[in-house]
Structure 1
């Protein structure tokens, strides 16, 4: 199997402090979290980062890992030294993996043991490493799933929202950070806010849904809005002001001889995700009312002079 350089995985020196290791882990965990990352290998990297942190965050585990020495290189074939017994044969206790799913690597298992394995037939049990044949594991609580309704503006700018959850133990209020650019269907994970188990609490996963917006419709990263235009703006062409989802305005050029239903794209003016979405404008020609003598006169003049028949090709 390949040797895994946990320091290299987290991008820190072997002399890194606990605070430096923690900061590096948090940065990489945010970058590769499968719920939000766009990296093609996000899930695998997230597991690698979690495994590295599981070892290096604890002084005893880190010391045992460092006993292997600095001569092993990333990718080099590895076998534990004969008689290898980290930490004197006891005291280590792990969750089943960075995500609680038993997904530690073979390299990790060869050093510290895992469920049903380890050294001297001991394996992993509730009291530590290599202490008998009882491999029953303290189980982590189950993850819980629910939905959260957010406004479009929350995704455009990022936001903090409070949610109330009811359970058998009562009601609790949680503060949720809404990441900028999050899409409908994506999930926000709140660590340790799920069901409680002997091995700790599971996570709470909030699936994002958008509240209806008075102007914009959401489709993935993209947004769509109807843009009302006057008949002469559509016929002659014009430049009009358009309100953008981020709260700013833009000058949009309407081409001459435009028809209702024409779709125009404003690139990267949709949700600010990675990549950013687009904003689509659907032209909607709005006729002025013939509710004054002058308006009626103008309509009568057009009917005579333009000789326009909208059903001519019907």
Structure 2
């Protein structure tokens, strides 16, 4: 199978392109490659490719998912291994490109009415440092448009063919202009483009097929998630119009800070407080990690800010089996107050020529 092209490359825009630039790029490609306009042999393939790229990059949530995970974000959602844009509504932008006042010239085909997929929903979830590291299950409640239980989302019962459009969902009008005859297709005002009417409208949803409900979801938070990253729950958004696919639920995470560990991607850092004697003489100390304490050898002469690496003691990466490292930064704590005995010991120590280090010698040279 050929490798899928990058969506930004398809549209010919940079990864930081604005919404307006993305829309403009798609307009240009749609005009060039629409199968009813272009005579190029690969026009249909290029047109579908541009449609798929635009359907993803024109949506804030889908674009963020693509930027984070690439085509893998939508694997399994479409037959091509990419985003399934079959339910994406292109009618508005096609009307902008090809016009609607006199219909669609060149035989361009449009649907008189497309049942819209449900809206995507974006929510934020705050989790603890430990929940982000190890993963967890959290429950959330959302108010959203869901399928009406009484009519199963149909909007009514006793379905019959629309008497106005005879089931086509649209009314075709012929209009003569100095440039020729144009056929304009307009959505049927009686059935709203459905092609059918109901003998009895659902009293619960008033014919819409959807109702506002409060739904509870259990979210499986994956281990390794970090602040700003999203989790996509396919099909957990709002219900679509009368049988159309539901939207998706996007959860963006905020991870609370830990009182000891500082995270940097898959690595974590902690500051280890040491006494002066521990730093000078060396020691073996217990260090906390994500999975329990370990012994760390502090060599004699340890300096403030020295870094010690504990391999594999960090965080498991979200999208791989790689585990980060734990970096221990030494911090030598200078006592602010001393007992009489401690002061005497430091005074004795001060008389033992502790300033023989090269740094002291260089400094003294500049005082001459």
TM-score (norm 1): 0.56
| Distance (whole Å) between structure 2 residues aligned to residue 98 and residue 142 of structure 1 | 20
* Unaligned stretches of 5+ residues in structure 2: 3-63, 92-108, 146-211
- Residues 1:249 and 2:293 are matched in the alignment: yes
Shift of 1:233: 2.0
Q: 1:153 aligns with which of 121, 126, 130?
A: 130
Matched, 1:209 2:254: yes
| Structure 2 partner of 1:42 | 72
Q: Following the alignment from structure 2 to structure 1, what is the Cα–Cα distance between the partners of residues 143 and 239?
A: 15
The equivalent residue for 2:190 is none
Cα deviation 1:68-120 (Å, max 9, x = unaligned) = xxxxxxxxxxxxxxxxxxxxxxxxxxxxx97442399xxxxxxxxxx99xxxx
With a CA cutoff of 8 Å and minimum separation of 6, indicate the structure with the bigger relative contact order. 2
CA gap 1:222/1:135 in 2 versus in 1, 3 angstroms: farther
Whole-angstrom CA distance in 2 between matches of 1:309 and 1:286 = 22
Select the structure of larger CA radius of gyration: 2
Alignment CA distance shift 1:138-1:39 (3 Å): closer
User: Which residues in structure 2 correspond to 1:154-303 (within 5 Å)?
Assistant: 154-165=131-142, 169=212, 172-198=215-241, 199-246=244-291, 248-273=292-317, 274=320, 275-288=322-335, 290-303=337-350
Q: CA deviation at 1:184?
A: 2.7
Distance 1:102 1:309 in 2: 77
RMSD: 3.8
Shift of 1:138: 1.8
Mark the runs of 5 or more structure 1 residues left unpaired by the alignment: 3-33, 55-96, 105-114, 117-131
Equivalent pairs counted in the alignment come to 211
Quote the residue 1:141 is aligned against: 118
Distance 1:197 1:39 in 2: 26
Cα pair 2:266 2:315 within 8 Å, conserved: yes
Q: Secondary structure at the match of 1:233?
A: helix
- State the Cα distance separating 1:140 from its structure 2 match: 0.9
